[in-house]
Structure 1
Amino acid sequence: MPVDLAFGEDALWAPSPDRVSESHLAAYCDHLQREHGRRFADYRELWQWSVTDLAGFWRSIHEFFDLDITEPDRVLDESATMPHVDWFPGATTNYAANALRERGTGAAVVSLAESGVPATLSWDELRLKVGALAHWLREQGIEPGDRVAAYVPNTAEAVIGLLACAAVGVVWASCAQEYSADGAHDRFAQLEPAILLVADGYHYAGKTHDRTAEATALADALPSVRTVVWIDNLGLLDDTTEGPRFDQITATGREPEFTRVPFGHPLWVLFSSGTTGKPKGIVHSHGGIVLEHTKFLALHCDLRAGSRFLWLATPSWMVWNVQVSGLLCGATITTYDGNPTWPDPTRLWQLAEQLDLDYLGTSAASLIAAQKHDADPTTVAPDLRLRGIGSTGSPLPPSTARWIHHVLPHVWLASASGGTDICSAFAGGIPTEPTYADQIQGPLLGVALESWNDDGRPVVGETGEMVVTRPMPSMPICFWNDPDSARYIDAYFDHYPGIWRHGDWITVTDHGGVIVHGRSDATMNRQGVRIGSGEIYDVVDQLGQVRDSLIVGIELDDGGYWMPLFVVPAEPVTEPDSFGQAIKRAIRDGVSPRHVPDDVIVVDSLPHTRTGKKLEVPVKRILQGADPTTVVAPQAVDDPAALARFTEYRRAR
C-alpha cells in the first residue's frame, strides 16, 4: 500500500517504503487483492469500503487472521438499527482459545514491579496456569455466565485470571486497588460475583500499599462471594488470611479446556465513570472483542508475533484489557505494577528500554510530563529500540507531538481516541500514512466516524459532535441489569436515534485526520481514566462541613488538565488550606487518589437548574472561555449571578 503523496510537507513523520511494505496493513491489503480481487489506492479507499461493506470487511478480518470463530449463519443483518444488531449469529468462539494459540518457550507475559526485576511466563507456562485456574473454577461449580470479580494490581496473575475466566465462559470484572473498598463495591455488587480475586497490595511511587484490610472489607460487603482467592503480591499474607492462594491453585499446571460460547456471550464487564449514580456495567462479548482487538492491535498498532508490547494502565481502565489482547496477535505483553513516571518522567523511557519494547502505549499526560521534564530518551535509555508510541486518554498537544518527533525521529507516534464503551479506539494510528502534530491520523477500519453539526449533518473542517453511523462488533451487547436497553439507548442513542453519539467534540480535517477537542459532556478525564462527578459527590456530600459542591475537568490550551472542586461551606472557613486538605483526604480515602481535585475553591453559592441539578457542563464551558449567557438560558438557572461568577474564577486561574 503506497503512502499518499498528496499529504502536505508539514508531516512530522512518514513511514519508509520498507516499513509500509512490511506492515500488517499492507499484508492485509495484499490478501484482499489476491483472494478477493479488491484493490485500494490508499488507506482512505480501504476505510470507505470497510464502513460500506460491513459484512465483507469483518468476514475478511476473521479470514485473514484465521480466528477461531466457527462459520456464522451470516455476519450481521445490515438493515438492523443500532443498538439492536446481532453479529455472527450461530457462530461459537472463545476469547481465551484465540489468545492462547501460540505455544512454546517464547515469552508470553513479562511482568515487572517498581522494586523488582522482570519475570517471564512462556506461552506454555501461561497456558498451564490458565488451565489450572480454569479447572479450579469448574471444581467450585462455577459455570458459564457466572461472575468473577478481581480487586488487583497490574500483574501477570490478573492476566491469568481474566484468561481462565474466559476459558470457562465466566464473566470477568476488575478494579484497581487504588480504589477504596466502597468504590470497588459500587462496581462489583451489581454483578453478584461468586468468586473474588484479591491481592494483598500494590506498588506505587516507591512505596508498597497494603490493601489486605480493604480487600477483606470488600469481600465482607459482597454476600454473593463464595470464595476469596488471594494473590501474594507484596508478601504480606500469613496463616491468618482466610482463603486459597492463587499460587497454590496454579502451581500444578494443566492444559486448558475452552468452553465454546456463542459469539455474543458476555466476556467481561467494564464500568462507566459514575457521572450520575452508580457506575454502569458495560458488557462486551467474546466474539466482538476478538474481532475488534485483533483488527486494532494488528492493523493499527502493527503488532505481530514476538512484538514486545506494553500499554501502561491499571485493571480499572479498558486499556488494560486491550493490553491483554496483545496475546491475540502473538505479541509478548508486559505488565507493570507501579508508577511509570516515578521518581521522575525519565522512568517512562527506562521502562521501555528495560522491557525491550517495540510498542509503548501510555497516556498523553505521561508524555506531556516527559516533555516538561525534558526527559530525552536517548540520554536516559541509550538502548531504546521503540518502533511505535501509542498515546490516549486525552488529546496530545501539538507541542508534545513535535517534541517526541524531535527526540525520537524514527518512532511512529500513533495517538488514539476511544472509550470504555467499545473497549477500543474510534480513531488512531495508520502505519502506512504520515503523522501530523495536531491530529490523530484517522478513523479506524470498520468505524464509520463522522463529525456532525447542530443540524445533524456531517461536516469537515468544523467542530461537531463525534458520531458513529454504522455498528461495530465491540459496541456493548448490553448494560448490566438493563433488560429493556433503556439506559443503553439513553447513553448513546438519545440524541440521534440509531446513531451512536459518543460525547466528544471533534474536527475531521480535509485529508481525513481527527482532532479531539475534549468532552462534550461533564465526564472528567484524569490521566486517561474517565472519572464521574457522582463518585466524588458521594464522598463530599457526606461531609458535614460542606453544604454544596461542584466539580469539573478542564482541558487547557497547553495540553494540561485542571480539575477544580468548588465548595460552599456549611460554616465560614477561617483556614482555607486546612479545609481543602481535609476534603482532599476524604476523597482520597473514600474513592481513590485519582479522584482528588487539583484545587478546592471556596465559593459563596453555586448555580443549579430550576429542578436542582448541578450545572457542570455550563460551568466547564465558562471556565474554557464561553460567555455565560451563551451556555445556558438564564431563566433556567436558580442563581444566574452564581453562574456568571465563574468568569472571575477563570480570570484568576
Structure 2
Amino acid sequence: MSEATGAGTARELLWTPSEQRTRGSRMADFQSWVNRDRAVPLIGYDELWSWSVEDLDGFWGAVWSYFDVLASSRPSAVLAERAMPGAVWFPGARLNLAENVLRHARDDRPAIVGISEHREREVLTGRDLVRQVASLAGELRAMGVRPGDRVAAYLPNIPQAVVALLATAAVGAIWSCCAPDFGTDGVLDRFRQIEPTVLLGVDGYRFGGRDVERLDTLAELSAALPSVRHTVVVEHLRAGGTPPAGALSFDALVAGDPSPRYEQVPFDHPLWILYSSGTTGVPKGIVHSHGGILLEHLKSHALHFDTGPDDRVFVFASTAWMVWNVLVTALAVGATIVTYDGNPVRPEPDQLFAICAGERVTRFGTGAAYLTGCQRAARRPGEQHNLAALRAICSTGSPLPTSTWHWVYDKVKRDLLLGSDCGGTDVCTAFIGTNPLLPVYAGEMQAPYLGVRVDSWSPEGMPLVDEVGEMVITEPMPSMPVAFWDDPDGARYREAYFDTYPEIWRHGDWMTATRYGTYVVHGRSDSTINRGGVRMGSADIYAVVDRLPGVAASLVIGAELADGGYFMPLFVALAAGTELTPDLIDQIRQDIRARVSPRHVPDEVVAVPAIPMTITGKKLEVPIKRLLQGVPEDRAVNRATLANPEALDWFLAYVRDRRATQGLEAEAARR
C-alpha cells in the first residue's frame, strides 16, 4: 500500500500492528503505568516520547521503578548533573548488572541454547546458569580478581562466553572481549591498553566446516600480556593440542555450587570495555557502566523489542560486536537466548532462518547484509521453514535497502515487525528504530527510542527536515560512556563526540529526519570500516599493509552503497621497482586475514600512483568514500586542503570508470 506525500513521492506501508498486538505490548503497559502511577496523561507514542526527553528525571525514574531494579542502596536523585559530557546519573545507588540480569533465571526453563557447527545442541537452564556464574565468580575472587580489575576474553558466541561475562560483572571486575577470528596484533592493540588480570580463551572453533585452532594464539597472547596472572581455556573445539603452561580449565572453574554473590557497585561503576574502530590510531576503549547499560537494555528489550519471559531471542553476532552484549542482557526480561557459533550461510544461505525455525525463535536479530544476501540468493525462508513463532526481526549494522524490506514481507512472513535500528558501540544501544506501536514503512526507521532526543543537523547546527544532515543527540543518555580507557582528562572522549557541536553528541552518521517522524540513515559520515556491523579502523589495516616490502602507502575505504551492498577497496602506492603481482595481492589478503580480521579482507587491491593527503598529513579517507558513493567532486572534497591534489585525479577517473563499467549507483541526491 502506498501513501502519497506532499513532495510527490510515495511512502510504502508494509505492516501495521493489530490492535490486539499493540494493546498487549509492554510499551502500551508501560504507558498505562505512567498514566496511572505517575499521573502523567499521555496519549500515543509521540506524547510518550516527548515526555521521555523533556522530563529525563521523570522518565528514567519511571524506568527504574517500572522494572523494579534490584539495588542495595537507592539513589538520592535521578539526574544530578545534566551536562553533556559529564552527566551524573542515579548518585548514591549501588547495584550489580549480573544480579538484575539473572533475577529471572531461577528454575529449569532454558536460559541459554547454544548451537554450533560441530557440537551437540547445548542447553543451560536458569538454575544451571546461576550456578555456573556463581562458581566462576568465586574462582575469580580466589584468583585475586577485585572490583575494577580487568578480565579479557578471546571467545566466540557460545554459552561459556555469557557465563564469563556475567561472572566478571558479579565480581565487579571489568569485562573486555575480542572474537577469536581477530588476529594477534588486533587483540593486543586492545588488551595491552587495559592490562587484564585474567585471560579466558577458546581452544578453537569451526567455521564453514573448517577447524580453526587457537591454543597457540592464546599462548602468544598470554605471553605478550605481562599483567595476566591466570589463563583459562574454554574447550570448545576439543581438537587436542597443548594449552598454555599453567592454564586452568573453564569446565573445572564452573563445576562448583556456591551461593550467588553479587558485588554492589555504584551506578557508574565500569561494567565492560568495548572498542572504537581505531581510525586514527589504536582502538579507543569505551567504558560503559553497570547502571547505564541495565536501564538502557531493560528499556530496549521490554519496551521497544516487546520481549518477555515467553520469548526466545536469537541474535547472530560476533562477540566483538556490541549487539552480542545486547543479546546477553535479554536474560534480564526473562527471555531465553540462543547463541550460534558457525557460518551463517552453510549449509544453505538461509541457515539462520533454519535455526529460527528449529528453536521456535520469536525475535531474530542480524546484520542488514545477511538479509540482503538471502534476498540475492533468491531464498524463500517463509516457505522453506516453519517460522510460525517468529514475531519480529531486527536489522542493524548498516542501512537496509528498500528492496530487502519488501523481500522480508514477501518471502519471510507478512505478519512481522521488521525493525531497522541505528545505534552504536559508543552507547551500546539504539537511538532510533524498532517500535511495537507503530506501522512499518519501506526504508524508514520507525521512531526515536524513548529517552533519546535525536536530530539531524546542518554543519551550522540547524535542525533539518527531509534533508541529509549529521545525526546528533542533544540530551544525555545513561549509557553514554562513563569514560574512555586511559583518558584521564577526558580529552579524547570530548574530541570523539563533542568537538563538532559543543555539548552536543555528534554520532558520525548521515541521517534524514522525515516530516513524518521517521528516519533514514545513510551510513557513516566518517572513515570507519563497518562491515556487517563489526567496526574496524583503517589504522588496523594500515599497520599490516604499510609494513609489507614494496608498499609505500595505502588507503582503505568502506562504502555503503545505494543497493545495500558494501564496497571495501584497498589502494596501494608501491615503492619504485615493485609491481602489484598476484603473489603480493595474496600476501596482503592473507596478512589482513591473519593479523587483523577475516571480515575485513578487501574486495579489491588496486595499485595507485599516490595516496592523496591533506596539508596536515591525513589520508583522504572520507572524501574518497563519498566519491565512491556518488557524491559530486565539489561536494566531496576541497582541493585547497590537499598537499598533492594531482593524486586525486586518479581516483576521480577510477570512480568514473567503475560507475560506467559496473553500474555503480550515484547517491548524490541523498547526500
Shorter chain as normaliser: what TM range? over 0.9
For 1:529, which of 523, 531, 534 is the aligned residue? 534
- Give the C-alpha shift of residue 605 in structure 1: 1.4
Q: How many angstroms apart in 1 are the aligned matches of 2:498 and 2:579?
A: 48
Letter in 1 for 2:434: G
Matches within 5 A, 1:491-640: 491-572=496-577, 576-640=581-645
Equivalent residue number for residue 53 of structure 1: 55
Equivalent residue number for residue 145 of structure 1: 148
Q: How many angstroms apart in 2 are the aligned matches of 1:135 and 1:482?
A: 31
Offset from partner CA, 1:103-128 (integer Å, 9 cap, x none): 11111111110233321111111000
**2:80 partner SS:** coil
- Give the C-alpha shift of residue 575 in structure 1: 5.8
Equivalent residue number for residue 276 of structure 2: 272
Is residue 2:424 matched to residue 1:419?
A: yes
Contact 1:349 1:380 in 2 (8 A): no
- Give the C-alpha shift of residue 383 in structure 1: 4.9
Contact 1:171 1:266 in 2 (8 A): yes
User: How many residues are treated as equivalent by the alignment?
Assistant: 647
Is residue 2:176 matched to residue 1:173?
A: yes
Equivalent residue number for residue 648 of structure 1: 653
For 1:199, which of 193, 198, 202 is the aligned residue? 202
Q: How many angstroms apart in 1 are the aligned matches of 2:635 and 2:21?
A: 49
Name whichever of 455-464 and 47-56 sits farther off.
455-464
- Give the C-alpha shift of residue 239 in structure 1: 6.5
Letter in 2 for 1:268: W
Is residue 2:404 matched to residue 1:376?
A: no
Q: Relative to 1, partners in 2 of residues 1:52 and 1:383: Cα closer, same or farther, differing over 3 Å?
A: closer
**1:12 partner SS:** strand
Is residue 2:342 matched to residue 1:338?
A: yes
Q: How many angstroms apart in 2 are the aligned matches of 1:438 and 1:186?
A: 37
Equivalent residue number for residue 231 of structure 1: 234
Letter in 2 for 1:295: K
For 2:317, which of 306, 310, 313 is the aligned residue? 313
Matches within 5 A, 1:392-411: 392-407=396-411, 408-411=413-416
Letter in 1 for 2:218: A
Q: How many angstroms apart in 1 are the aligned matches of 2:577 and 2:355?
A: 48
Give TM-score scaled by structure 1 length: 0.97
Q: Relative to 1, partners in 2 of residues 1:118 and 1:603: Cα closer, same or farther, differing over 3 Å?
A: same
For 1:128, which of 115, 128, 131 is the aligned residue? 131
- Give the C-alpha shift of residue 389 in structure 1: 0.3
Letter in 2 for 1:310: F
Q: How many angstroms apart in 1 are the aligned matches of 2:284 and 2:352?
A: 32
Q: How many angstroms apart in 2 are the aligned matches of 1:201 and 1:144?
A: 30
Equivalent residue number for residue 3 of structure 1: none
Equivalent residue number for residue 42 of structure 1: 44
Equivalent residue number for residue 218 of structure 1: 221
Q: How many angstroms apart in 1 are the aligned matches of 2:577 and 2:16?
A: 59
**2:248 partner SS:** coil
**1:588 partner SS:** helix
Contact 1:352 1:384 in 2 (8 A): no
- Give the C-alpha shift of residue 37 in structure 1: 2.0
Offset from partner CA, 1:281-303 (integer Å, 9 cap, x none): 00000000000011011111111
Contact 1:275 1:533 in 2 (8 A): yes
Letter in 2 for 1:287: G
Offset from partner CA, 1:602-651 (integer Å, 9 cap, x none): 11112111232111011111222233343333222122122132122112
- Give the C-alpha shift of residue 573 in structure 1: 5.3
Equivalent residue number for residue 154 of structure 1: 157
**1:48 partner SS:** helix
For 1:184, which of 178, 183, 187 is the aligned residue? 187
Equivalent residue number for residue 252 of structure 1: 256
Equivalent residue number for residue 444 of structure 1: 449
Give TM-score scaled by structure 2 length: 0.94
Equivalent residue number for residue 391 of structure 2: 387
Is residue 2:46 matched to residue 1:32?
A: no
- Give the C-alpha shift of residue 180 in structure 1: 1.1
Offset from partner CA, 1:561-602 (integer Å, 9 cap, x none): 000001111245556433322211111111110121110011
Q: How many angstroms apart in 1 are the aligned matches of 2:502 and 2:579?
A: 52
Contact 1:196 1:228 in 2 (8 A): yes
Q: Relative to 1, partners in 2 of residues 1:575 and 1:280: Cα closer, same or farther, differing over 3 Å?
A: closer
- Give the C-alpha shift of residue 339 in structure 1: 1.6
Q: How many angstroms apart in 2 are the aligned matches of 1:251 and 1:440?
A: 45
- Give the C-alpha shift of residue 306 in structure 1: 2.8
**1:15 partner SS:** coil
Offset from partner CA, 1:501-522 (integer Å, 9 cap, x none): 0010100111111100111111
Q: How many angstroms apart in 1 are the aligned matches of 2:515 and 2:616?
A: 43
Name whichever of 374-383 and 176-185 sits farther off.
374-383
Q: How many angstroms apart in 2 are the aligned matches of 1:388 and 1:572?
A: 57
Letter in 1 for 2:380: D
For 1:98, which of 94, 97, 100 is the aligned residue? 100
Equivalent residue number for residue 661 of structure 2: none
* Cα RMSD, aligned residues only: 1.6
Equivalent residue number for residue 468 of structure 1: 473
Is residue 2:342 matched to residue 1:359?
A: no
For 2:67, which of 65, 68, 72 is the aligned residue? 65
Q: Relative to 1, partners in 2 of residues 1:648 and 1:354: Cα closer, same or farther, differing over 3 Å?
A: same
Amino-acid identity (%): 48
- Give the C-alpha shift of residue 39 in structure 1: 2.6
Name whichever of 128-137 and 402-411 sits farther off.
402-411
Contact 2:80 2:90 in 1 (8 A): no
Contact 2:356 2:387 in 1 (8 A): no
Contact 1:108 1:121 in 2 (8 A): yes
Contact 1:272 1:420 in 2 (8 A): yes
Name whichever of 226-235 and 383-392 sits farther off.
383-392
**2:260 partner SS:** coil
Equivalent residue number for residue 290 of structure 2: 286
**2:332 partner SS:** helix
Contact 1:623 1:649 in 2 (8 A): no
**2:258 partner SS:** coil
- Give the C-alpha shift of residue 32 in structure 1: 0.8
- Give the C-alpha shift of residue 419 in structure 1: 0.4
Contact 2:219 2:244 in 1 (8 A): no
Q: How many angstroms apart in 1 are the aligned matches of 2:329 and 2:302?
A: 10
Contact 2:471 2:508 in 1 (8 A): yes
Q: Relative to 1, partners in 2 of residues 1:574 and 1:471: Cα closer, same or farther, differing over 3 Å?
A: closer
**1:506 partner SS:** strand
Letter in 2 for 1:598: D
Letter in 1 for 2:253: I
Q: How many angstroms apart in 2 are the aligned matches of 1:238 and 1:580?
A: 32
Letter in 2 for 1:551: V
Contact 2:268 2:289 in 1 (8 A): yes
**2:437 partner SS:** coil
Q: How many angstroms apart in 1 are the aligned matches of 2:620 and 2:260?
A: 52
- Give the C-alpha shift of residue 237 in structure 1: 4.5
Letter in 2 for 1:651: R
Offset from partner CA, 1:397-447 (integer Å, 9 cap, x none): 010001101121111101100100000111110101001111111110000
Name whichever of 634-643 and 107-116 sits farther off.
634-643
Matches within 5 A, 1:473-492: 473-492=478-497
Q: How many angstroms apart in 2 are the aligned matches of 1:109 and 1:364?
A: 24
**2:605 partner SS:** strand
- Give the C-alpha shift of residue 67 in structure 1: 1.3
Name whichever of 451-460 and 496-505 sits farther off.
451-460
Structure 2 unpaired stretches of 5+: 659-671
